[in-house]
Amino acid sequence: MFAVVRVGNKQFKVSAKDVIVVDKMDGAVGDTVELADILLVSGEKKPEVGKPVVKGHKVTAKILAQEKGDKIDIHRFKSKVNYRRAKGFRAQLTRLEILTVA
């Protein structure tokens, strides 16, 4: 059984015991969260497609880690005027383990 869930602005195809990395969510490591926006559920029967979400199903996940992503280096440069700027950015991420798709 699998489901397609929307977390933030992204969609993920998940099934039990999958590990996904999403944008930062509130909660401590070890907390259980319920993913509310379920767009599709497929199992032994015919798939259920939501309009826009599927009612009566839920996906639960456990927070494994609150972490930072890889560093992104940003460089700005203009020739002939000696203009140079450098910045760095690391996204705040949450690692989730999917416990159940029901």
Separation CA 60–CA 32 (nearest Å) = 7
Query: Which pTM value belongs to this model?
Result: 0.84
In the chain, where the domains are located: 2-101
| pLDDT tier at 102, thresholds 50, 70, 90 | confident
Separation CA 58–CA 89 (nearest Å) = 34
**Chain segment 33-63, per-residue pLDDT in tens:** 999 899 999 988 899 998 999 999 999 999 9
**Chain segment 67-88, per-residue pLDDT in tens:** 999 999 999 999 999 999 999 9
The tokens describing 11, both together, are: 């969609």
8 A C-beta contact, residue 87 and residue 74: yes
Separation CA 39–CA 83 (nearest Å) = 47
* 47 upstream amide cis, omega within 30 of 0: no
